[in-house]
Amino acid sequence: MRNTVFLLGFWSVYCYFPAGSITTLRPQGSLRDEHHKPTGVPATARPSVAFNIRTSKDPEQEGCNLSLGDSKLLENCGFNMTAKTFFIIHGWTMSGMFESWLHKLVSALQMREKDANVVVVDWLPLAHQLYTDAVNNTRVVGQRVAGMLDWLQEKEEFSLGNVHLIGYSLGAHVAGYAGNFVKGTVGRI
């Protein structure tokens, strides 16, 4: 009890325990741990993650949005099942569609690996939050990336060993979660 600090906030009492876990006691008396949210992906988070495959060398071109479960889109977007696949995941408050470093990385990967698939994971609606909320959202986004990889694994020619997950800042956390949640072993994180 010596290391416990109580802070009074509007409608809540926050208890900071020595282990670093923040627990909130609501006026109704329910106890809830802020750091350990449910592992299921909330329905509202599903459209907040976009997968954009970059096939053109021109960074101004938007690319093609992939949709989980839509095999026709894979074909229309020019997804090569046998080639290496790079997933680039941006960090906190950044958008994968507008960052200059991202365009340079996409171009460099396309020059080095001519047939590779370069997929930009854009999770801006979940990343453009308070830092602590964005940190909690990395798990949700990691599950979405893992879901996409699991779906791609159902295709005969696709190999998880050819997948590289590249994350910057909180995007690296997303990549780690994706590697943890995917069924199988990713080639490189």
pLDDT digits (tens, 9 = 90+) for 110-162: 889 888 999 999 999 999 999 999 999 999 999 999 999 999 999 989 999 99
The pLDDT assigned to 63 comes to 83
| Same domain (yes/no): 91, 57 | yes
> Is 47 in the same domain as 30?
no
Q: Are residues 3 and 56 in the same domain?
A: no
Contact 121, 51 (CB under 8 A): yes
How many domains does the chain fold into?
Answer: 2
Banded pLDDT at 186 (limits 50, 70, 90): very high
Nearest to 92 by CA among 162, 23, 148, 168: 168
Distance spanning both ends of the chain, measured CA to CA = 41
Q: Domain limits at 10?
A: 1-35
Confidence at residue 152, expressed as pLDDT on a 0 to 100 scale: 95
Q: In the chain, count of helices (H) and strands (E)?
A: 5, 9
pTM for the whole thing? 0.73
* pLDDT averaged over every residue in the chain: 79
Task: Supply 174's token pair.
Answer: 């997303």
* 141 and 95 share one domain: yes
- In this structure, what token pair is assigned to residue 175? 């990549």
pLDDT mean over 88-113: 83
